[in-house]
Structure 1
């Protein structure tokens, strides 16, 4: 069953947010999801303690470089979808996770600094790909850049230029952009999925759900036969 790894060497780019958005949108479809919370701060594990975690979302924490591969394989035998939320790119724990991944999501904001940092993640993915090719011919570890925290009303010139630059270099980028929305932050503050928030807790919930659905659908399509 597919394992999706979310990685970024830079904090604050929406890595954990996009992981949780994907997990909860998948769960709404009645699909079982396991989230490996490998972030040392355990943000998703803390979110799950709020009492609103769907029954078909299972969060596993206390993850180390020594047990992450075992835990990914273990939950992959139970739930159809496995999501791994990873911090950084230098640690061995990330390498072990990539060895088990079927697809890698690299979130980044629309700035040159973020693009440079995302380049480190891409290099790690490519290095892992080459390592596996020593044993598996023509092995490919697919990945895509996810642009995050952008203004919801318009695309900035910097963002448009950055998207073109990535495309010109042959770097895959999600068509869907996760926009800057209060509802995404409120998920963690109130420890709820998007569809459990109310208007007193966050504005624009419907738009946030629409954005989340579009991202989830596009990510699923990346590994579908038609994708």
Structure 2
């Protein structure tokens, strides 16, 4: 089983969008995926309600119960768990990091957002968990922006993920409809970004993803 924590002390970083799409990519990859929503705003849970019974399943959990919920989900057959956390909540972030195999820190590639993730970087370093910064909601075609942002987060002690989730309309439209970018535009650029990020995530925890050339293998 793989457990990925999505954490950031900065609001508006795209945590829930990243969590939903990673879990949905795992479902497309033929795995039993689950999102654990620790955010009191329950955005992920609301999205799941719009989807009716379509996977991935979303359950909520207060931070003190998170480890038990993850263990229970594993016992019930969950293969890929993504923990979505609220901003400005040290207890939830710490519990998520402790329960995770891998930590992803979403961050917009802007000066204020980049500066704000230093607290999150220090937390994962303190708890000695593998962690990467995932740039979100940035310009689709701006390699220099991502290069400079990557160099900065590297200086914080947390390396950047080589794949981004750019600012694309498909992410906004899909979430508003209780769908994913892969469902809305299966061959679109947003969907491809998610698949690449999912494959990379799996490699970090030594899980073989079935995606090949941007599409699920038969």
Fold equivalence (TM over 0.5): yes
- Counterpart in the other structure of 2:139: 151
1:196 to 183, 192, 198: 183
For residues 63-212 of structure 1, the aligned pairs below 5 Å read: 63-77=61-75, 78-88=77-87, 90-129=89-128, 141-155=129-143, 157-167=144-154, 170-197=157-184, 206-212=188-194
Matched-pair contact (CA < 8 Å) for 2:7–2:85: yes
Matched-pair contact (CA < 8 Å) for 1:8–1:15: yes
Task: Give secondary structure in 1 for the equivalent of 2:30.
Answer: coil
TM-score normalised to structure 2 length = 0.86
Matched-pair contact (CA < 8 Å) for 2:102–2:130: yes
* Structure 1 residues 195 and 158: alpha-carbon distance in aligned structure 2, compared to 1, 3 A threshold: closer
Residues 157-193 of structure 1, C-alpha deviation per residue, up to 9 Å, x if partnerless?
A: 4433222233456531111111101111112211112
- Consecutive unaligned residues in structure 2, runs of 5 or more: 209-218
Task: Give secondary structure in 1 for the equivalent of 2:8.
Answer: coil
C-alpha RMSD of the superposition? 2.1
For residues 32-43 of structure 1, the aligned pairs below 5 Å read: 32-43=32-43
Residues 104-137 of structure 1, C-alpha deviation per residue, up to 9 Å, x if partnerless?
A: 00010112221221111111112223xxxxxxxx
Matched-pair contact (CA < 8 Å) for 1:4–1:104: yes
- Per the TM alignment, residue 90 of structure 1 is displaced from its structure 2 partner at its CA by 4.0
